[in-house]
Amino acid sequence: MTELLKKLVLTSGVSGREDKIREVIKAEAEKYADEIIIDPMGNLIAHKRGKGKKIMFASHMDEIGYFVTFIDEKGLIRVGNVGGINTLSASYSEVVSERGVCGVALPSDSNEVPKVDALCIDIGARSKKQAEKRVSIGDYFVHAPHIKRLYGNIYTGRPLDNRIGCLVLLEALKNVKPTDNDLYFVFTVQEEVGLRGAKPVAYRIEPDIGIAIDVTSAGGKPTSPKTKVKIGGGVAIKIKDASVICSYEIVEKMRELCLDSNIKYQDEILLKGGTDTGAIQTAKMGCLVGALSIPTAYIHSTNEMIDISDVKEAIKLTCAIAERI
C-alpha cells in the first residue's frame, strides 16, 4: 500500500491538467475493473458491473498549484493560483513545473503573509531569455511532492489532499468482495477549483447513491480549526460541509456498517470548504449522498499530515458500503 501511496503522491496533476496522475491511477485500476471510461473533462471511471444498486464513489485526483502567466525581464515567473493556496506555507517553499523545472515560491514582501497574487517563482534564471528556455506561459507548477513517515502511523507529505482518497478508492476497488451492486469508482478532475468535474460524471452515471472520499480538517493542533475530528480517531463520516448536507439515511447506514464491522469512526462537520459530494447530490435529478473523510492536519500546506490507521479504516468502510449498503 505504501508503494502505491508513494507513486500517487509523487505524480503531479494540477486542476485541469490531470493527465499524468490519471495514467498512474488507470494502470492500477485496469487490473480490477470490468471497464474503464475517461470522459470529456478527463474524469476516470472504473466500473465493476452488477445488477443491484448503482453506487458511485468519487475521489478527486487534482491538486492545487499555479499556472505561469508572465515572465519578467529579470527572469522571475509570475503565476496565477489554481485553488486555495496557503500563502504562509507557500512562501519560500520548493515548487516544480510540469516539465520538472524546480524553483522557489517567493512572497513580494518578507515581513507579512503574502496575498496569493503577490507570489512569484524564482527558477534561478538571470534573464527573461534564460527563463523562457525552461518555462512557457501556460505551464503549471505545483508544490514539490514528497512523503515521509514520522512517528508510528503518522505520515506527512503533499499532496495528500486528495491522493490519499485515491489510494482508499484503489484499495477498495482491489479488495471489495463480490457483490450485486453496480459499482463506479470515479477519480474526478477540477475539484480544487470549485467541484467542476464531479457533476458531469454523476450526470453520466445517474447513481442511486453517491459517496465522496476526501480529506477533512483535523483539530488538536495549535493552528487547527475548532473541530472534534482527530488524526488517529478513525475514518470520519461527514454530516455536512460548506457544499453539502449529507443524506441522513446514508449517514445512519454508514454508522451502522462501522458498528457491525468494528470500524473505528468519528462524526465530522466541516465548516469551511466543500467536497465533490455537493456536486454529485444535485446533478441531473439528484441522488442520495454521503462522504467519508480522512482526518488531515495542515491541509493545502506543503506538509499535510495523516494517520495511516485512519486510511485503513476508510478502506474497510468503503468496501462495506460497496458490498452491503
Q: Which residues bind another protein (CB under 8 A)?
A: 15-17, 19, 39-41, 43, 67, 69-70, 72, 78, 80-82, 137-138, 190, 193, 196-197, 199-201, 203-204
User: What one-character-per-residue DSSP string does 132-151 give?
Assistant: HHH--TT-EEEEPPEEEE-S
Distance of closest approach, residue 9 Cβ to another protein, in angstroms:
22
Whether 191 sits among the annotated catalytic residues: the reply is yes
SS (H, E, C) 204-222: HHCCCEEEEEEEEECCCCC
Q: Name the residue nearer to another protein (CB basis): 108 or 175.
A: 108
What is the rounded CA–CA span in Å between residue 198 and residue 97? 26
- Measured distance CA(18)–CA(186) in Å, rounded: 14
Closest CB 70 distance from another protein, rounded Å: 4
Task: Measure the CA–CA gap between 290 and 104, rounded to whole angstroms.
Answer: 39
User: Which entry of 191, 192, 268, 313 is annotated as an active-site residue?
Assistant: 191
Cβ distance to another protein smaller for residue 32 or 67:
67
Between 2 and 136, CB nearer to another protein = 136
Read off the amino acid at residue 294: I
φ and ψ of 16, to 5 deg = 90, -15
CA distance linking residue 100 with residue 107, whole number of Å: 22
In this complex, which beta carbon is closest to another protein, that of residue 244 or of residue 305?
Answer: 244
CB of 192 to another protein, least distance (A): 10
Shortest spacing between CB 85 and another protein, in angstroms? 13
- State the catalytic residues: 191
